[in-house]
Amino acid sequence: MNGEVITNSITSDSYKKFHHPSGLEVLVWEMPGFSSTYALFATKYGSINTRFKTVADSDFVDVPDGIAHFLEHKLFENEDCDAFELYAKTGASANAYTTFDHTAYLFECSENYGESLKILLDFVQKPYFTQATVDKEQGIIGQEIKMCEDSPQRQVLFNLLKCLYTKHPVRIDIAGTVESIAKIDAELLYRCYRTFYNLHNMVLVVAGNCNADEVMNICDEKLVTCGDIGLETAFPKEPMEVSQKYIEEIMPVGTTLFNIGYKVPAKDKEELVKAELESSILLQLMLGSGSPLYKELFDEGLINSQFTSEVFYGSGFFANLVGGESKDPEMVYNRINEEIARYKNEGFDEEKFRIIKNSMYGTMIRSFENVESCANAMLGSYILGDLSAYAPLEALAKITINDIENDLIELFNTDYSALSVVKAQ
């Protein structure tokens, strides 16, 4: 089977893209000279996908929060054994995770990747649920949810998301709630599995010490062809206004924690890539460890080395987040907003912009020498909407200081910001 070769116009790196007859998209990045192989079998099904329909449905169906995460837990078990037992025989290290907008099953190995790949494709396509095993899992995940509720770091984040988002399900914890998972039964799990684990909604990515022809031969052997069910997902219309500006919770912490968020209109595909890169540059310019404000806040004891920032985005949501520990989070919030206003008036230093952009560029180039990074780049491109894994590098090369100055107003609009605080008892 001849695949399409996706080439990086800047570095000349390349990987292959196949549309398998089963409906699955397969992305293979052959990396000669590398000893390890990294593979992910993923579905565009995350915690936010609680409303959907197929050609068989007359209207949209709503399912309980947390069901995507629940499914991830259950798929490792089949009627005969646990998938981890099979991986133990091949020597591969396996795992899985659920995010807001996708679920992935993965392994990494240094030899015999073909046998591990067969295990991966096999168990993900063979669900086995009974009401007894579902009931047991409800207890296990219920305990996990309660542990998360006791985590100050997790609570300060999800409290912030509840401030920023009024209707979008990103405001709900990925694991759901004890009440929501109590509504899950075996029949509902099978329905969600058949809907979202349809191969037309999935991707296989393999990077490192691998051969594309061998990967496709294994796909021919293991993949079960299925029809396109016309899957549609839907989200409630999210207003730009935040739900609330401030939220506070009391928990047993030694130092007060805070998260600040700046809500941004949701982006798609190329727009999202550009906005993520510009936000990353802006966060470093305004709040990075080399910025004037960081030094001022640090010297005044208002922040410490736990101060971080990130760009938070996915299907229907986008926000820039800042967080850490502080004796006065409201002062930090106000000072950051004042700094944003100053940059909107004065602009940025072009040399500092150039240094940060070049640093990000170098980091991206180096990531192409890491097997896991290459696999995740391919997966990310698929989840974002069938983009090239090289799209971020190519977009970064085109970003100018005028771009970030023009987009600063939208990316850091203080009118659409909120502060979440967790204080000591």
pLDDT of residue 386: 84
pLDDT in tens, 83-102: 888 999 999 999 999 999 99
pLDDT of residue 270: 86
pLDDT of residue 10: 86
Q: What is the rounded distance in angstroms from the CA atom of residue 295 to the CA atom of residue 305?
A: 11
Helix (H) or strand (E) holding 208: strand 202-208
* Pair 377, 367: CB distance under 8 Å: yes
Residue from 143, 300, 288, 165 nearest 235 by CA: 165
Residue from 60, 370, 316 nearest 171 by CA: 316
* Pair 243, 164: CB distance under 8 Å: yes
| Mean pLDDT, the chain, whole residue set | 95
pLDDT of residue 76: 85
pLDDT in tens, 69-85: 999 999 987 777 788 88
Question: For the packed helices 371-385 and 350-367, what is the interaxial angle rounded to 10 degrees?
Answer: 110
* Pair 90, 119: CB distance under 8 Å: yes
| Assigned CATH for 4-233 | 3.30.830.10
**DSSP for residue 345:** H
pLDDT of residue 288: 96
pLDDT in tens, 144-161: 999 988 999 999 999 999
pLDDT in tens, 166-212: 999 999 999 999 999 999 999 999 999 999 999 999 999 999 999 99
pLDDT in tens, 289-343: 999 999 999 999 999 999 999 999 998 999 999 999 999 999 999 999 999 999 9
Do the domains at 4-233 and 246-424 have one common CATH topology? yes
Q: What is the rounded distance in angstroms from the CA atom of residue 345 to the CA atom of residue 334?
A: 17
Q: What is the rounded distance in angstroms from the CA atom of residue 86 to the CA atom of residue 66?
A: 27
Query: Which pTM was predicted?
Result: 0.94
The rounded percent of the chain whose pLDDT value lies above 70 is: 99
**DSSP for residue 240:** S
Q: What is the rounded distance in angstroms from the CA atom of residue 396 to the CA atom of residue 392?
A: 6
Structure tokens belonging to residue 317: 């949501």
pLDDT range class, residue 1, cuts 50, 70, 90: low
Structure tokens belonging to residue 408: 């600063």
410 is catalytic: no
CATH topology of domain 246-424: Cytochrome Bc1 Complex; Chain A, domain 1 (3.30.830)
* Pair 138, 284: CB distance under 8 Å: no
Neighbour-count burial for 77-93, b at 16+ CB within 10 Å, e otherwise: beeeeebeebbeebebe
Mean pLDDT of 115-128: 95
pLDDT of residue 83: 87
| Collapsed DSSP state (helix, strand, coil) of residue 74 | helix
pLDDT of residue 82: 82
pLDDT of residue 183: 95
pLDDT in tens, 381-405: 999 888 999 999 999 999 999 999 9
CA contacts within 13 A on the Cβ side of 98: 21
Active-site position among 25, 30, 72, 232: 72
Domains of the chain by residue range: 4-233, 246-424
Mean pLDDT of 12-39: 96
pLDDT of residue 21: 95
